[in-house]
Amino acid sequence: MPSRDSQFHGLLRNRFITYLANSFHSIRFGITDAHGKGQVIQFNYLLDNGGIKFDEANGTFSVEFNYMKAAIRKLTNDILTLQAQGSYKKAEVLIDKYGIIRPNLQKALDQLRDVPVDINPVFSFDKTFSR
């Protein structure tokens, strides 16, 4: 039976992978609203701080498991510090630096152009149950 520690680390790895995939989903809607802007800020910050890696050779992004926790901790610290200080200027610098779609991210998003953003399920109702 796997130890609780190994189960936790396996779960954490899965969460990091899901987070990365969901980042693309969220950013595809655009970065003009707060959700998209916040997501691209997180993405770029984690990329710059080693939590996410871009492979130039094949144009893919991946999670750097050995660095992701530290990068998240640093991002959280920076954002909470900005909020505590109430510095509009420092927040503006963070947004200007990280709140953009960089060329490598845009190229990856362009490859997803033909993939549906959301799936709209259609439910059928059997007429034998209707009155």
Beta strands 52-55; 60-63: pairing state: antiparallel
**127 located within any domain:** no
Compute how many other C-beta atoms are within 10 angstroms of the C-beta atom of residue 22: 11
Cα(26)–Cα(95) distance, integer angstroms: 17
Domain-located, residue 88: yes
Residue 9 lies in a domain: yes
Q: Coil, strand, or helix at residue 72?
A: helix
pLDDT band of 45, cuts 50, 70, 90: very high
Query: Which has more confidence, 101 or 29?
Result: 101
Q: Tell me what the mean pLDDT of segment 30-42 comes to.
A: 93
Quick: pLDDT tens for 69-127. 999 999 999 999 999 999 999 999 999 999 999 999 999 999 988 887 777 777 776 66
pLDDT at 130 over 60: no
Residue 126 lies in a domain: no
Structure tokens at 83: 């909020």
Q: Which domain holds residue 10?
A: 4-114
Q: What is the largest CA-CA distance in the chain?
A: 64
How many separate domains does the chain show? 1
pTM for the structure as a whole: 0.83
What Å distances lie between residue 25 and 16, 66, 115, CA to CA? 14, 24, 10
